Chain A
Amino acid sequence: MSNKNSNFSNYFHRNGRALGSIGYFILLMVIFFIGAPEAWIRPNLHQSVFVMMPTLIFLTIPLVFLVASGEIDLSFASTYAVAAYVFALLVKNGVDPGICFVLGILTGAAIGALVGTLIVVFRLSSLVASLGMLFLLRGVILLLTNSRSITIMEVENHWIYPLLVGNFYGFPMQIFWAALFVIFCYYFFNKHVFGIHIQHVGDNTVSAEQMGINVNAVKIKAFMFVGVGAAIGGIFTTMITYTFFPTQGFGYLLLALAAVFVGGTPYWGGLGTIIGAVFGVGIIAYMEIGIIAIGWSGEWRQFFNGLIILLALLGHRLHGERVR
């Protein structure tokens, strides 16, 4: 019996936060369903959520890794645009879009490495330094493009378009890529040395260092992963709309961060949940679209976004404070 208890409490320790955000998600769906049942059974509402979700997933899930390692990054919202810019510019200049895609992602990784190295080597506050980087990179983009967008209709005729963002029996392909990304990240975070080391580093940096973990390398890799996620998100969006906008990605900054914390990953490091973050993304995406569907004006959206974040944080308090 007691053995069963310990297994139960261990299970709760591991999965409580993910279960919490699944609970909020279900609650939100029920509220929306009661509020506007006729809007809710129409498939086009869910379709628009599914279009929005993949981008947000590519941004949010890597942030779980970074937050669990005890750091934060805001610059990803600009990295998103820089990688998309590199992609669009190269496509426009006749480079094979497949190669452009790879180069765009490498750009994201390189920016992540730069931000991470800056923060880790000079011991900067990741919040403030990445805030600076957020503006700096956006500034670079605006200067380089003269605030003009780039249209890349030619990408549609390349095999990469149907593969990445095409239509598969009515479902946008990016949903499958996002799902694959989530599955990969679940194992990467929970069953891979990288994820485990991230959790140790975020939990107690000194202990991790004493046991031979290269703390700086782990943190820089986490920043790089965020850069890669942002690049994928940015390039996908650019392909879907055939257009690169110099301001793109800015709107995702707060939404992606909100999804991480609503998803149940605590801000203090050492813990994180991939499944929770997926439902966090679900909550944020449905909030964005559901408020309109329910028949309320768009002005309510921000209000409810804020309310949801606060309620979710209060709910996650049930899992207790940081253990030391």
Chain B
Amino acid sequence: MENIIELNKVTKRFGGITALNKASLKVTRGEVVGLIGDNGAGKSTLIKTLVGVYSPDEGEIFIRGDKITNWNALKARESGIETVFQDRALTPQQSIVKNIFMGKELRYPFGFIKEKEQIYEANRLIREIGFTSKLINAESPVGNLSGGERQGVAIARAIYNNAELIVLDEPTNNLSLNETQKVFDFVLNVKKSNRSVLFIGHNIYHVYDISDRFVILDRGEVVHQLNKNDISTPEELMKIMRETIKTH
């Protein structure tokens, strides 16, 4: 399978602190990778490096096999890496379609908006990603949506921005079981469309359910990587995580 992105022995320091220490990670096309680790393990530094907010002090970054120098946020977006941060960057009083096209509206000359095309495209995107309720369409205000559905709007926007890899930062935080399931459905639809997802979570059960592969991070190092086939229960994953962190 083709690698969307590969980080090779990436190190990031802030002053005297090494936030990431020779961390290696790759995401191949169409897979869901679960990134787990305790608070302060370096998850957020790893994500921010991945999406180009930070450029690494050492190590290499490959996009579809090509080495990239001077890694930054613009290059990350051009490479098809989109992040959905915890607050989702939505404007709740506006409609779904306005949110999906926020900052990247389809325009006629002089800045007028191609409203019909946007609505058509937004409806297509939210159906593709798995919105089934007939009560919701592109013109519904985001404020009327549940937490999981709002996550879906943010994911739909990432797809519209030609994302090949969508980084979800704790997407199921504070969500009920039902809402978490909705987010999982969205993620599975993203996977079905042959895009990749990096799923960051606190909750081992959530990460276990949705991911094909797990990357365990501790004190800035990738301490373990395993496939879902290697284990059979979330408890097993938890056990491995405890042991690797302890022996580390």
B91 touches A200 (CB 8 A): yes
B139 touches A323 (CB 8 A): no
Number of A-B contacts (CB under 8 A): 90
CA distance A289 to B107 in the complex (A): 44
Given contacts A196-B98, A212-B104, contact A324 B92 (CB under 8 A): yes
The tally of residues in B whose CB lies under 8 Å from a CB in A reads: 29
Give B132-169 as 1s and 0s: 1 = Cβ < 8 Å from A's Cβ atoms: 00111101110110000000000000000000000000
Interface members, chain A 174-191 (any B CB < 8 Å): 187, 191
B94 touches A203 (CB 8 A): yes
Q: Which of B93, B102, B144 contacts A271 (CB 8 A)?
A: B93
Distance (whole angstroms) from the CB of A44 to the closest CB of chain B: 40
Give B89-127 as 1s and 0s: 1 = Cβ < 8 Å from A's Cβ atoms: 111111100100011110100011101000000000000
A323 touches B113 (CB 8 A): no
Residues of B within 8 A of A3 (CB): 134, 137
Distance (whole angstroms) from the CB of A208 to the closest CB of chain B: 7
* Least CB separation from B157: chain A residue: A211
Q: Which of A7, A194, A270 contacts B93 (CB 8 A)?
A: A270
Distance (whole angstroms) from the CB of A210 to the closest CB of chain B: 4
A323 touches B93 (CB 8 A): yes
Q: Which of A6, A206, A322 contacts B87 (CB 8 A)?
A: A206
Interface members, chain B 48-98 (any A CB < 8 Å): 85, 87-95, 98
B111 touches A207 (CB 8 A): no
CA distance A7 to B139 in the complex (A): 8
B134 touches A203 (CB 8 A): no
CA distance A213 to B105 in the complex (A): 11
Cβ of A193 < 8 Å from any Cβ of B?
yes
Residues of A within 8 A of B136 (CB): 6
Given contacts A213-B102, A323-B144, contact A207 B112 (CB under 8 A): no
A10 touches B143 (CB 8 A): no
* Least CB separation from A270: chain B residue: B93
CA distance A208 to B89 in the complex (A): 7
Given contacts A192-B111, A193-B107, contact A207 B91 (CB under 8 A): yes
Cβ of A117 < 8 Å from any Cβ of B?
no
* Least CB separation from B105: chain A residue: A193
A187 touches B112 (CB 8 A): yes
Interface residues of chain A, those whose CB is within 8 Å of chain B, are 2-3, 5-7, 9-10, 13-14, 187, 191-194, 196-197, 199-200, 203-204, 206-208, 210-213, 270-271, 322-324
What are 25 sample pairs from A and B whose C-beta atoms fall under 8 A apart? A5-B135, A6-B136, A6-B137, A7-B137, A10-B139, A10-B141, A193-B111, A194-B111, A196-B105, A196-B113, A199-B98, A206-B87, A207-B87, A207-B89, A207-B90, A207-B102, A208-B91, A208-B102, A210-B89, A211-B89, A211-B103, A270-B93, A270-B94, A323-B93, A323-B141
- Known A6-B135, A323-B143; further 18 A-B contacts with Cβ < 8 A: A6-B136, A10-B141, A13-B141, A13-B144, A187-B112, A193-B107, A193-B111, A193-B112, A196-B113, A199-B91, A200-B98, A200-B102, A203-B91, A207-B88, A207-B90, A213-B102, A270-B93, A324-B92
